[in-house]
């Protein structure tokens, strides 16, 4: 099933109807692809919902039911289900939480026993999986402006985290704690309207709508995304001396790239996705004013209005968000040209130009950035 057809099938399941003001649906998209749908209902004493996502290798449904008193969670039940509604194999059938003024209790219900853990977490909040963001309405209501951080107890792990909302300026709010620092927008009644991850590595955007959805039908129509940014390797041999670049290849998915959502102006980009992009050379090469001895390096990109630069860094083995400028060897301006055709998946190519010269091409969307190098004895 194509991305377009799959997305149309999922969205078609969202049927407009007359709803109470507390109910809502959030559709999460990565570019033009729908990757999760969350439906929820809020009353003064309860916040319940179900979210289905298709990230990675499986379609997973997350059901949550949070008891509320005086605006604070007092208990919660969370269930993780497969697309057909059956429990996930070898996982707890449900997670039960009790939130007290001085502590929190979590019970993990397994097929043959219940594992109980206590946490020194006063007035804690349930830590829910990614794309189950609707309950942040409760956080927004607490304090109404202060939005103090609360201890958070998740379905996994033995540590107490935290969750909260901070004001960045004006009406711009950002989630603190959790997996991603998503930007949040609420209406005047405190109802969550959008969840924006464009400034994080998540990149998804969730938009609220009215209506009811059939989560079971959506789950059956969904197909796992698989690895969103698969690893790839660019390779060329120079006088029996190979040069490799290992990187992850994200897709455009209808989004803006150079100077847009995916490669914003002036930011340091990992030159791919996920783990840092690594350059391995068996030859000494001259890249701009940098002399790179045989070895392993990481590559980073900065796209500015004045030019596009390739940065070489000594630090290796890190995740792609762990850039440390203190380890920079240097940078070189790249030549940027229009791509002959749209490049959906970010692609790096290493080319031999003959006579001891080579080039690295970084192609994505409508542009190709090129850095030339020379082999040294």
User: Is the pTM higher than 0.75?
Assistant: yes
Tell me which residue of 128, 155, 130 sits closest to 36, measured CA to CA: 130
Tell me which residue of 245, 285, 248, 295 sits closest to 270, measured CA to CA: 248
pLDDT of the chain, 377 residues: tens digit per residue: 444 444 444 444 443 333 344 889 999 999 999 999 999 999 999 999 999 999 888 999 999 999 999 989 999 999 999 999 999 989 999 999 999 999 999 999 998 899 999 999 999 999 999 999 999 999 888 865 445 688 999 998 899 999 999 888 777 899 998 889 999 999 988 899 999 998 888 899 999 998 889 999 999 999 999 888 999 999 999 988 899 999 999 999 999 999 998 999 999 999 999 999 999 999 999 999 999 999 999 999 999 999 999 999 999 999 999 999 999 999 999 999 999 999 999 999 999 999 999 999 999 999 999 999 999 88
Kind of pairing between the strands at 94-99 and 172-177: unpaired
Who contacts 315 (Cβ-Cβ below 8 Å, separation ≥6)? 276, 298, 322, 324, 327
Sign of CA dihedral 317, 323, 326, 328: positive
Kind of pairing between the strands at 14-15 and 241-248: unpaired
Hunting for tokens 């690295």 — which residue is that?
A: 360
Residues of 129-167 as b/e, b for ≥16 C-beta within 10 angstroms? bbbbbbbbbbbbebeeeebebbbbbbbeeeeebbbbbee
Hunting for tokens 């930011």 — which residue is that?
A: 267
Residues paired with 51 in a beta bridge: 38, 62
Distance CA 208, CA 282 (A): 52
User: Angle at the Cα of 63 (from 73 to 11), degrees rounded to 5?
Assistant: 120
Distance CA 65, CA 42 (A): 10
């Amino acid at each position: 099933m194509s991305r377009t057809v799959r997305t149309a099938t999922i969205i078609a399941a969202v049927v407009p109807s007359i709803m109470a003001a507390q109910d809502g649906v959030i559709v999460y998209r990565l570019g033009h692809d729908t990757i999760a749908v969350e439906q929820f209902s809020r009353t003064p004493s309860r916040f319940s919902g179900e979210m289905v996502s298709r990230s990675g290798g499986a379609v997973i449904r997350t059901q949550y039911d949070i008891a509320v008193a005086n605006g604070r969670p007092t208990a919660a039940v969370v269930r993780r289900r497969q697309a057909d509604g059956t429990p996930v194999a070898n996982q707890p059938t449900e997670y039960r939480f009790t939130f007290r003024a001085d502590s929190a209790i979590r019970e993990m219900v397994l097929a043959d026993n219940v594992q109980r853990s206590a946490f020194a977490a006063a007035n804690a909040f349930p830590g829910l999986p990614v794309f189950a963001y609707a309950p942040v309405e409760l956080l927004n209501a607490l304090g109404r402006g202060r939005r103090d951080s609360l201890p958070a107890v998740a379905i996994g792990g033995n540590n107490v985290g935290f969750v909260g909302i901070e004001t960045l300026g004006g009406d711009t709010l950002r989630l603190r704690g959790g997996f991603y620092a998503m930007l949040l927008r609420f209406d005047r009644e405190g109802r969550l309207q959008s969840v924006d991850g464009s400034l994080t590595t998540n990149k998804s955007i969730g938009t609220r709508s009215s209506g009811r959805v059939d989560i079971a039908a959506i789950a059956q129509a969904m197909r796992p995304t698989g690895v969103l940014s698969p690893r790839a390797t660019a390779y060329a041999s120079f006088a029996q001396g190979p040069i490799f670049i290992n990187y992850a290849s994200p897709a455009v998915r209808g989004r803006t790239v150079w100077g847009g959502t995916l490669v914003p102006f002036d930011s340091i980009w990992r030159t791919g996705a996920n783990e840092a992009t690594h350059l391995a050379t068996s030859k000494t090469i001259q890249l701009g004013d940098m002399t790179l001895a045989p070895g392993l390096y990481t590559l980073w990109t900065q796209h500015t209005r004045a030019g596009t630069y390739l940065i070489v860094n000594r630090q290796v083995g890190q995740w792609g968000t762990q850039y440390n400028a203190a380890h920079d060897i240097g940078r070189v301006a790249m030549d940027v040209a229009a791509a002959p055709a749209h490049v959906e998946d970010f692609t790096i190519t290493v080319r031999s130009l003959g006579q001891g010269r080579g080039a690295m091409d970084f192609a994505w969307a409508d542009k190709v950035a090129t850095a030339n190098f020379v082999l040294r004895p």
